[in-house]
Amino acid sequence: MKTLHTAEQKLKERIKELTCLYEVTSLIVHSDYEQIEEVLKAIADCLQRAWQFDKETYVELETPVTSIYTEERGEAYVFLQSPIKVFNEQKGLIKVGYPSPKYTLDDFLVEEQQLLDNVCLEVGNLLERKEIKDNQESIRRQVEQADRLRILGEITAGIAHELNTPLANILGFAELLRERVENDPLATKDLDKIITNTIFSREVVKKLMFFACEMPEERNTLNIVPIIKDAMDLLRVTLAKNEVSCDLEVNTENIELRTDKIQLTQVLFNLIVNAIYFSPPNSTIKIKVTDKKDKVVLVISDEGSGIPKDKASSVFDPFFTTKPVGEGSGLGLSVVHGIIKSHKGSIAHAPNKPKGTVFTIEFPKLK
C-alpha cells in the first residue's frame, strides 16, 4: 500500500515526528522516577500519534521496569523496531507496527525509523539515570545501616562489659547462699530461680558481646561442609517436630574457609532456627553453599511469611524481633551480623519466591 506524498504531506509528517520527539524529551526531562510507568505509557502514546497512519498504529514498549502495549489494531503486524540500551547493554525494545497484510515494511518512512531510534536512545538515557539514582539510594541506605550498627555495637559492648561484673557477683553469692540454706527447701527453690535467671542473663550478655565482636575467637582453615551437616543434624529433632525439611546443596564437598568453628555454628543455628520458626508445615529450608575463587557464598532460604517491608531495615538491630513477647530475645540476627562482620563478610536478605526469605552470606577467603 505504498503512498506517494506531496510536499505538504511530507511537511506534515515531519511536524508530527518533531512534535513527538519534543514531547518525549519533555516527558523525560520532567519525569518523576517514582512514576516512570506513566512516563513510558505517555511515550508510547506519543509514538502512536507520530506515525503516518496513526489511526492504525500499534506500539509495544518493553523495559525491565514495565511493558506497555497500546490498543491493538489487528491480529498480525508488520513492525519497525529499535533496541533500548542501558549502559550499552540491551534492556528492552520498542516496536511500532501496522496491521498486516494490509501494510508492509514499504509503508514505513525512513524518517520514522530514525525517530524510533532517537526515542529509544532517550528512553535508555532515562533508565540509566533511574538506575544510577536507585544505586545511590541503595548505597546511602547501606551506609546509614552500617553506621547505625557500628554505633549500636559500641554501645552494646559497653553495656555488656558493665553487666558482666554484677552478674558474676549475683551468681557467685547466690550459689554461696544456696549452700548455707540447703536445709530450707523454699529458700533453695528461690535461689535456684535467681541462679537460673542470672545464667540466662549472662547468656544474653554473651550474645551482646558477639554482636559487638568482643568475644575471643580461634580461627583455623576448616572444611565447612561437615560443620554445616553437623548443625543440620543437631537440629534434626526440631525440624521433625515442626514438620519442616532441610536440604543442603554444595558445589564441592571440600569448601575451605578460615573461620571459628563455634562462631560459624552459631551463625548456622540462628539462621536455621529462625527459618524453622517461620516455616509452615511440610515446607523446605534450602541451604546452598558455593565455593568461588575469592569467597564462599552461603544462601539459606525458607518458605515462611517473609520479612515485612517496613521491618526490613531493622532485622539486624539488637533486641528487634517479629516473634511474640517471650519467644525471642531479638539478638539472634544481631549476633549473626556481628560474627560475619568480624570475618570481613557481608549478609543481606531478600524476599524468596513465591514466599519466604533468603539470607545471603559472603565470606571472603582471608589468609
Q: What is the pLDDT of residues 13-60, one digit of tens each?
A: 888 889 998 999 998 888 877 788 999 999 999 999 999 998 999 999
* CB atoms near residue 285 (< 10 Å): 25
Q: Is 253 exposed, middle or buried (0-12, 13-18, 19+ CB in 10 A)?
A: exposed
pLDDT at 63: 93
pLDDT at 284: 94
Calpha distance 119→19 (Å, rounded): 12
pLDDT at 155: 63
Calpha distance 238→289 (Å, rounded): 22
* CB atoms near residue 26 (< 10 Å): 12
Residue type, 181: V
Whole-number Cα distances in Å, 82 to 21, 54, 108, 125 = 15, 19, 14, 14
pLDDT at 176: 85
**Cell output for 90:** 540491551
| Structural domains of the chain sorted by starting position, each given as residue range(s) with its CATH number in brackets | 7-137 (3.30.450.40), 138-211 (1.10.287), 220-364 (3.30.565.10)
Give alpha helix (H) positions in the chain. 7-29, 36-50, 110-180, 185-211, 224-234, 236-241, 261-278, 332-342
Calpha distance 143→71 (Å, rounded): 45
pLDDT at 93: 94
Calpha distance 223→227 (Å, rounded): 8
> What pTM was estimated for this model as a whole?
0.46
Calpha distance 291→289 (Å, rounded): 7
Give every CB contact of residue 298 below 8 A, 6+ residues apart in sequence. 287, 288, 289, 360, 361, 362, 363
Q: Extract the residue ranges of the chain whose pLDDT is less than 70.
A: 1-5, 141-158, 160-161, 204, 206-217, 317-332, 367
pLDDT at 30: 83
Task: Check if the beta carbon of residue 272 is closer than 8 Å to that of residue 237.
Answer: no
Calpha distance 116→44 (Å, rounded): 11
pLDDT at 58: 94
**Cell output for 328:** 525471642
Phi–psi pair at 276, nearest 5 degrees: -60, -45
Residue type, 301: S
pLDDT at 300: 94
